[in-house]
């Protein structure tokens, strides 16, 4: 479904615009603003290498079930940027769960409860993203010894690599958030 790609790309841009507007009208503070960009930059840490590997590697980490509607390199650039914007938004949603479920003050010092919430949320959100992609026939990760299958959904593979990324990324994000809050 080509529509799914356009939806993902447009929503990524909308996430960014919403965060910018909320910051400009002072509905989010500078800490949240920085966390969005930290999440975006962390997303770039895997979106960029995975996308480049898809283009040049004999062992691409993912494959498009339905072809992307724009030619390379435009599609690759759009995927890297919009997916990283999504990552920034997903991290902020995780921060929202910390605010909702933990006691104030937030991100001031290490609290296992905050970290656990971010890690669990990261795992759940990543699984939802993968299931949505496969349900929409957009992309799936390829099987390799370093990326084994966890299970099959809709006749496609759900693999370990993206789950590992979203196991490590919230931990890095959490410690960066504490550092930024100092």
pLDDT above 80 (res 1): no
Structure tokens at 144: 């390799």
The Cα 91–Cα 88 span in angstroms is 5
- Digit-coded pLDDT (tens) for 91-107: 999 999 999 999 999 99
DSSP state of 57: -
Q: What is the pLDDT averaged over residues 22-39?
A: 98
Model pTM score = 0.95
DSSP state of 143: P
Domain boundaries, position 57: 2-181
**Domain count along the chain:** 1
- Any bridge partners for residue 156, and if so which? 153
Measured from the Cβ of residue 21, the count of other Cβ atoms closer than 10 Å reads 11
How large a percentage of the chain has pLDDT more than 70?
A: 99
Cβ proximity of 46 and 98 under 8 Å: no
Please give the pLDDT value at position 72: 87
The Cα 49–Cα 26 span in angstroms is 34
pLDDT above 90 (res 124): yes
């Amino acid at each position: 479904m080509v529509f799914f790609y356009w939806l993902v790309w447009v929503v990524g841009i909308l996430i960014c615009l919403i965060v910018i507007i909320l910051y400009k009208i002072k509905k989010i503070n500078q800490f949240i603003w920085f966390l969005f960009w930290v999440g975006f930059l962390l997303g770039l840490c895997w979106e960029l290498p995975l996308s480049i590997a898809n283009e040049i590697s004999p062992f691409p980490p993912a494959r498009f079930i339905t072809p992307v509607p724009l030619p390379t390199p435009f599609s690759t650039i759009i995927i890297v940027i919009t997916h990283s914007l999504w990552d920034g938004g997903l991290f902020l949603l995780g921060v929202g769960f910390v605010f909702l479920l933990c006691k104030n003050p937030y991100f001031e010092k290490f609290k296992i409860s905050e970290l656990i919430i971010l890690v669990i949320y990261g795992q759940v959100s990543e699984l939802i993203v993968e299931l949505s992609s496969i349900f929409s026939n957009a992309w799936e990760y390829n099987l390799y010894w370093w990326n084994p299958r966890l299970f099959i959904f809709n006749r496609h593979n759900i693999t370990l690599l993206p789950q590992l990324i979203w196991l490590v990324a919230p931990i890095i994000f959490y410690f960066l958030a504490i550092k930024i809050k100092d």
